[in-house]
Amino acid sequence: MKSVVREGRGTPRLEEVPRPAPRAGHVLVRTCASLVSAGTERSASEFASLSLVGKAARRPDLVRQVLEKVRRDGIWETQRAVRSRLQTAEPLGYSCAGIVEEDGTGEHPVGSLVACAGGGYASHAEYNLVPRNMIAAVPAGVTAEQAAFATIGSVALHAARLTRSGLGESVAVVGLGLLGQLAVQLLKASGCQVFGLDPVERRTALASELGCDVVANDPASLARAVAERTHRRGVDAVIIAASTKDAAPVSVATEISRGRGRIVVLGDIRLDLDRRVFYEKELRLVVSRSYGPGRYDRDYEEKGIDYPYEYVRWTLKRNMGAFLALAPRLRIEPLISHRFTIEEADRVYALLSGERQEPYLGILLVYPQESSAVAERERVELGITPLGGRHREVGVSVLGAGNYARNTLLPALAKVEGLRRVAIVTAKGLSAWDAGRRFGFERCATDVGDALGEDTDLVVIATRHSQHAGLVREALGHGKAVFVEKPLCTSDDELEELRSAYARSSRPFLMVGYNRRFAPLVARLRTSLGRVGRPLVLNYRVNAGPLTDASWVLDAEEGGGRLIGEACHFVDLLMHVVGAPPRVVRVVRPSTHGHFGDRERRPWTRSVRDAPSPFHSRKSLRERGQRSRSEHRWPSATPSRFRPWGTPWTPRQAHENQDTARRRRPPELHEDRSDLLGDPGERAREVCRRTRTHRTALRCQYVRQLLSGSRLADAEREPGRRLGIACEPDSQGDAGLRGGPRPARARRGRRGGRRELDGGMCPRHREDPAQWSPTLARSRGGRSPQLRSVHARGGQQDRDGRTV
C-alpha cells in the first residue's frame, strides 16, 4: 500500500509499505479520504527540519531525557539511540474516513463507512488499522469527505464544551483557521452569539458567511464591537484557535473577557500571563487536550477500555459521533480549499512549506478505490539480493522492530558475515519497511507467515513480552531455530505449552536472550567462585531507575511487570554464577516502619492494638501526624471524626506495632474481646465487668467513645441503661457526656514515666459514691479523686503510691 512518511529531517514523501495485519480489537479500514491538518503538520515538519541544537531549544524536556540517558548508559550509547530515533520514519496524518475491510471488534459491518482518528492510526495511507475507541460509525447522509473532518471537528467541539457556553451567551473565537471556522459553526448551533478575530480578511469574510455575528481584523475593532454588543461587560468565554509564537492572543482574550470569564486555549501559542488582569477579573484558563477524554490514555486508545457513560458523557469517540451527527447541518464544503490524490502528496507539503504561494484552508487527500491482491499489500520486496549460494548462508528472519531491536539486535545482525537477512515482520507496515531498508533485509511484511518460509533457518523474536510464547511455539512448529528475547513467557501455563512444543519440534533449538552471562567479567567471576568450595551469599544491586506510568512493561498483561520482564535477567545471572538452579525463591520487601508514599497509604480503623511503636521518636511521630507514647491516648472504635488524632494507620503499621502494643497495654486488654463486637451498650457493660479500680478511668473513656450519635443521646436521657459502668469520678461530673465523647486529657507528671488521666464520671457514680471501688473510695473519702498511673512493667500506681 502507499503511505505518506517523513524520515529524519527529510521532506514527506510517498512510499510503498506493507499493509497492516488485522488483529482483535481493531478495524482494518480502506481509506477513502484523509484531511491534512495544515497547522499541526506544518509545525511538525518545521520541527523535524531543525538541527539538534534547534530541537533542544524548542523541547528542553527532551534534553533532560537525553542527559538522564547519558548518566545511565554513557554518551556513545545515548548518541546511537538518539540517531536511531531521529532517523526513524514516521507516518503523517490523524484524520480520515474509509470503508471497513475487516472488523475485529464486532461493532462495524464490513463495507460500512467509518471515521478514524489518532496519529499512527488514521494516517495518510491506503489502509489503516484503527483501535475500537478511535473509530466512529458514519450516519446515513454523510459523505466520506465530510466524515474525514470528524477528528478536527471533535477538537473544536471539545473546546466548545470546555467554554461551558449555553443559549444566549457570547463567545469570541480568536483565530479563524480550519479549527476556528468549525468552532464558529458549532457555537452558533449551540445558540451562542459569536465574535471572530483574524488578521486575514479572506478568513473573516468566510466566517461571516458561515454565521459569525461579528468579525474583526484587529484587536481594537473587536474590543469596540464586544463593548457595544455586551454593554461593556465583556464576552462570557474566549476560544484561542490561533498558532503564533507571541502572547498577543492571550492579551486580547483577557481584555475582552468579562469578570470570571473563561478562556480556552486550542492553538499552539505562547502563554505569557498577566497575573494582575487574571486576578482582577478572576479569569479561568483551560488548555484543551485534543479530541476529548481518553486521548493519550493507553488503556482507552490501545486496549479499547471505554469510560463509563454515566460518569464521562463526552469521550473522544462520543465527540466524534456527535460531530458526525451534526455534519449535515454544518457547512463543510466551503472549508475545502484543495483536493489532491495520494500520488500528489508532495504538492500538499510544498503548499504547506510555502514553496507554492497559494491561500489554503482545508486540504483533502483522496484515494483510489480499486484494490490489489492481499499478498502484494502485506509483503513488500526491498530489492536486496543474497550474497552467495544457499549452502553458505544462514537465513534469519526477525519478528519485531522496537527500540531494543533497532538499537542492539539489528545492528549486531548486520555485522555478522555469512548471514542472510531474509524478512522482518512487525504489526505496523511502516516500521517493518523502515527497519528492513536500514538493516538490509530482503523483504518486509506484517504477516508472521512470511518469516517462517523455507528460506528462513533462524527466527529472532523481539516483540512485546506477551507475544513471546505464542511466536516461539509457532516457530518451533515450523521446525525453525529460535532466539527469543527475555522473558521466554509470562505464565506457568505458557511454559508448559512451550515444553510440549519443544518436545515435538523436529529441530529443537531454543535460546533465550540472557546476554549478561556472556560478559567477560561474569566469566571471570564464575571461574573465581568455582574454587571457593563453601556456601555463598550473593547480593545483586540493580540501578535501573523508575519507568514511566505509561510504560507497557508495567502492564501485567502485555509486559508482565518488571520482575518477570526485567528481573529475570538477574536471576539467570546468579544461577549461572552459582552453577545450579535455585531451590527456594523468596521476595522480601524491607520494613519501612509505615513510611509509605501516598499511593500506598490506605484508611485503617485504629483499635486498642494499634498503639505507636516505642522505637519512633516524638519528632518523627509528630511529623507523621501521630502521637508519641507519652502523649498517646487510647483510641476508640468510633468513626474518625470522634478520634482524638487525625492521621489513619496503614495495615502494615498496625501489624508491625501489634506485639509492642500488647506488651504496653493493661493486662485485661489481652483477653479475647470477640464477644464485644455487637451492640455498643453490651460492649460497654462487658468492659465494666472486666474493669477494676484505677483501670476504670481508662476504660470509662474507651467505653464513652464506643457510644456515639443517637446512642450517646439515649444514654444521656436514660442514664440507667449504662449505670453498670464502674468509672472514676471527676470534678467535672458528667460534663463529658453532655458534650459528646470527650477524650482523656493526658499530661506529663513529675516523674518521666507518669501521666495523669482525668476521666469523666457517669451519672450513677456521681449520685452514689458508694458504688465507687474500695481503693478509690478510700483514697479521697468520697471526694473526686484523681488517678496517677505509671505505664511500666512493674504495674501501675495510684496517688497514694499503691501498686495495683
**Is 801 inside any structural domain?**
no
Take residue 437 and report the three cell numbers written for it. Answer: 531498508
pLDDT-based confidence at residue 720 (cuts at 50, 70, 90): very low
**pLDDT attached to residue 473:** 94
Round to whole Å and give the CA distance between 262 and 670. Answer: 62
Give the pLDDT score at 602: 39
802 domain-assigned: no
Give the span between the Cα atoms of 237 and 158, in whole angstroms: 14
pLDDT-derived band at 554 (thresholds 50, 70, 90) equals confident
pLDDT at 108: 94
Q: Is 452 contained in some domain?
A: yes
Q: Model's pTM, two decimal places?
A: 0.69
Average pLDDT over residues 180-193: 96
Q: Same domain, yes or no, for 230 and 192?
A: yes
Q: Which residues contact 583 (CB under 8 A, 6 or more apart)?
A: none
Name the CA dihedral angle for 608, 614, 619, 624, rounded to a multiple of 10 degrees: -40
17 and 140 fall within a common domain: yes
**Last residue within a domain, chosen from 487, 513, 539:** 513
Q: What percent of the chain has pLDDT over 90?
A: 43
Query: Containing domain of residue 599, as a range?
Result: 589-662
**Residue 552 confidence (pLDDT):** 85
Mean pLDDT of 553-567: 87
* Model pLDDT, residue 693: 40
- When pLDDT is cut at 50, 70 and 90, the band that residue 558 belongs to is confident
pLDDT digits (tens, 9 = 90+) for 461-487: 999 999 999 999 999 999 999 999 999
Domain assignment present for residue 669? The answer is no
Q: List pLDDT tens digits, range 665-678.
A: 444 444 444 444 45
Q: What is the pLDDT of residue 734?
A: 38
284 band by pLDDT with thresholds 50, 70 and 90: very high
Q: Which of 530, 559, 578 is the last residue of a domain?
A: 578
Q: Do residue 425 and residue 503 come from a single domain?
A: yes
Is 187 in the same domain as 254?
yes
Instruction: Count how many Cα atoms sit within 13 Å of the Cα of residue 41 in the half-sphere of its side chain.
Output: 29
- Residues 494, 386 within the same domain: yes
Say whether both 560 and 596 belong to one domain: no
Alpha-carbon span 648 to 601, nearest angstrom: 9
Max mean pLDDT among 55-69, 487-501, 784-798 falls in 487-501
pLDDT given for residue 221 in this prediction? 95
Of 185-199, 214-228, 301-315, 526-540, the one with minimum mean pLDDT is 526-540
What is the pLDDT, as a whole number, of residue 763? Answer: 45
Q: What is the CATH number of the domain that holds 428?
A: 3.40.50.720
What pLDDT score was predicted for residue 150? 96
Q: What are the strands, taking DSSP E only, across 311-370?
A: 336-341, 362-366
- Give me the mean pLDDT over the 317-321 stretch: 96
Q: How many domains does the chain have?
A: 6
Residues 562 and 604 in one domain: no
C-alpha cell at 768: 452514689
Domain match, 122 and 175 both: no
**Would you say residue 800 lies in a domain?**
no
Residues 276 and 400 occupy one common structural domain: no
Q: Does the residue 283 lie in any domain? A: yes
Residue 287 binned pLDDT confidence (cut-offs 50, 70, 90): very high
Residue 593 and residue 570 share a domain = no
pLDDT given at position 590: 59
Mean pLDDT calculated for residue range 423-450 = 90
Mean pLDDT, the chain, integer: 76
Examine the fold and report which residue of 528, 548, 578 is the final residue of a domain before the chain moves on. Answer: 578
Instruction: Report residue 371's pLDDT band, with 50, 70 and 90 as the boundaries.
Output: low
Which of the residue ranges 50-54, 67-71, 267-271 would you say has the lowest mean pLDDT? Answer: 50-54
Query: Is 583 contained in some domain?
Result: no
Which of 20-24, 237-241, 270-274, 706-710 has maximum average pLDDT? 237-241
Q: Give, as one character, the DSSP assignment of residue 258.
A: E
Which strands make up the sheet holding 214-216, listed edge to edge? Answer: 214-216, 193-197, 170-174, 235-240, 257-265, 284-287
Q: Is residue 110 part of a domain?
A: yes
Residues 711 and 645 in one domain: no
Do residues 565 and 690 both lie within one domain? no
Q: How confident is the model at residue 352 (pLDDT cuts 50, 70, 90)?
A: confident
Q: Would you say residue 87 has pLDDT above 90?
A: no
